[in-house]
Structure formats: structure tokens, C-alpha cells
Amino acid sequence: MTVFAAIGDPHGEVSRIDTDRADYLLITGDLGPYREARQVLGHYNDLDTPTYLVPGNHDVRHYGNGGTFEKLLNRYDNIESVDGECVTLDEEYDLAGYGAHRFYLGPESLDELDFHTNRFKGWPESYMERKETLEETLDQADSPTILLSHNVPLDSDVDVLDSPVAKKVKRRGRPWGSDVLSNTIPEYDDILLNVGGHIHEGRGVGKKDSVPVINAGQNDVTYVTLDGGQVADIAFE
């Protein structure tokens, strides 16, 4: 039996973790600006529990797409980024990572050109590049796979905007998950579940086809139990 604690976008805050309960920690990104990120990383590193994360869109904003984020993580022995990587847990599961790549993180969709074309001329090319990146990562897996991402899939029931910011920009009530995730997950039979965040108000369990999708929220903790290659329990704390 394997148990991990999924920690939603910290944004400079930390949560209490039952380390007797969790074998691993998974963080969905958006750690915070440098000083806050160091506090977050230091807190979880000191728990001496193997911790994996992907960068969020705010991490891209603060640290860019270069090596600054990796240099920050290199200070901590128990924390590792799995963005674009695949690691094995307990010789039974694979953990694949798909982080954010730009600060503005919309649906990553070819169908959203009415909004994106004027702001991002290369959006269709970006969609294809991101999909290929995710596919290359998932192709490394050969066991039941946990997909750790920053966003959640488009139309997964946990990606609907309902915040004051969404209301301000007239997108309240719209699904705003990732089309890259939405279109790629059904292509892989070994994906056991997807854990993401980004849309804080969507915390809960949804589904993309037959794959459970956990939106881990903002600085919330969700314990997930895996047993015999299956999801045995999901507990929101």
C-alpha cells in the first residue's frame, strides 16, 4: 500500500502533514516568490519525506523557464522536480510530471484562438509542443502512472472558474483546464489518476474519461491511498 499527500498550490503558505500517514508528498506548484518559496520548501524538506513537485505558472513568472527554479530546489535534499520527468515509486507506480510553461496559463487549446490570437501569436504551435512534451514524458512510464500537473484537464468538472478575478475578466463559470491534458490523458491506458491545482476554487475529484482527476486546491492537503495498482481511497483534510 502506498499513500501520498497531495498539497495544492502553496502560494507561500504551508500545511501540517501527517508524516506517519504519507509515504510521499506531491506539490502542484506555485510555491511563491523567492523568500516565501524558500520557507515552503524548507518546511516540507524538514519533514524527511520524499517530495515531488512541478512548477506552476507563478513559478514561471518568478523564476523564468531557465535553471533558476532548479537551482532553488537543489538546496533541498528531499525535494525534486518531476517536470518532464518520470520517476518510480515503491517499484510499483510511476510518477510523471507536467508543469506550467508560461505565466498566463489558459486552456492551452486550439479552440481558444478568439481570445489568444492577438496576445500569443504562437499559441497553436505552443499547444502542439506542449502536447508532445507531455507524450514524451508519459512514454517513459511502464507501470500504473500518477500524473502530477499544475493545471487540471479541461472539462474535468474541477476546472470551472468561480473566483472574483474570473468575474472581473468575465470568465466566471467557464471551464479553464488544460486541453493538452484533456486530449492526452485518454490516449494512455496506464494513467491511474491525475493530480493538479491552479484553479483553486475547483478543489475536489473530477474525471477525464475514466481517469480520476484530483484538484488539490490552494494549500490544502489530500491523502491518496494506492493499493494493488488501484486508487483505494481519497481523503480531503
Cα–Cα distance for residue pair 1/107, rounded to 1 Å: 35
Edge-to-edge strand ranges of the sheet holding 79-81: 79-81, 51-53, 24-27, 2-7, 221-227, 230-236
Q: What is the pLDDT of residue 136?
A: 98
- Looking at residue 92, what DSSP letter applies? T
Of residues 39 and 111, the one with the higher pLDDT is: 39
Q: How confident is the model at residue 127 (pLDDT cuts 50, 70, 90)?
A: confident
CB 97 within 8 A of CB 54: yes
Cα–Cα distance for residue pair 229/89, rounded to 1 Å: 12
Backbone angles phi, psi at 236, to 5 degrees: -90, 130
Torsion of CA 148, 153, 156, 160, to 10 degrees: 110
Q: What is the pLDDT of residue 63?
A: 87
Nearest residue to 159 via CA among 216, 236, 221, 93: 216
Q: How confident is the model at residue 118 (pLDDT cuts 50, 70, 90)?
A: very low
Cell of 47: 519533514
Tens of pLDDT, residue by residue over 187-218, are 999 999 999 999 999 999 999 999 999 999 99
Q: Which residue shows C-alpha cell 484562438? A: 113
Cα–Cα distance for residue pair 167/178, rounded to 1 Å: 20
pLDDT, mean of residues 118-130: 61
Cα–Cα distance for residue pair 137/98, rounded to 1 Å: 8
**What percentage of residues in the chain have a pLDDT greater than 90?**
72
Tens of pLDDT, residue by residue over 7-50, are 999 999 999 999 999 999 999 999 999 999 999 999 999 999 99
Flag whether pLDDT at 110 surpasses 80.
Answer: no
Tens of pLDDT, residue by residue over 220-236, are 999 999 999 999 999 99
Flag whether pLDDT at 124 surpasses 60.
Answer: no
**What percentage of residues in the chain have a pLDDT greater than 70?**
86
Looking at the DSSP bridge assignments, the partners of residue 96 are 86, 147
Edge-to-edge strand ranges of the sheet holding 191-196: 86-89, 93-98, 145-149, 191-196, 211-215, 204-208
Q: What is the pLDDT of residue 120?
A: 45
Q: How confident is the model at residue 91 (pLDDT cuts 50, 70, 90)?
A: very high
pLDDT, mean of residues 167-180: 74
Q: What is the pLDDT of residue 119?
A: 44
pTM over 0.85: yes
Nearest residue to 51 via CA among 22, 71, 72: 22
Of residues 6 and 170, the one with the higher pLDDT is: 6
Flag whether pLDDT at 166 surpasses 60.
Answer: no
Q: What is the mean pLDDT of the chain?
A: 89
Flag whether pLDDT at 87 surpasses 60.
Answer: yes
Cα–Cα distance for residue pair 139/180, rounded to 1 Å: 15
Q: Could you tell me the fold of the domain covering 2-236?
A: Purple Acid Phosphatase; chain A, domain 2 (3.60.21)
Cα–Cα distance for residue pair 148/25, rounded to 1 Å: 11
**Domain boundaries of the chain, sorted by first residue:** 2-236
Cα–Cα distance for residue pair 173/58, rounded to 1 Å: 22
Q: What is the pLDDT of residue 169?
A: 52
Secondary structure of residue 28 in the 3-state scheme: coil
pLDDT, mean of residues 66-84: 91
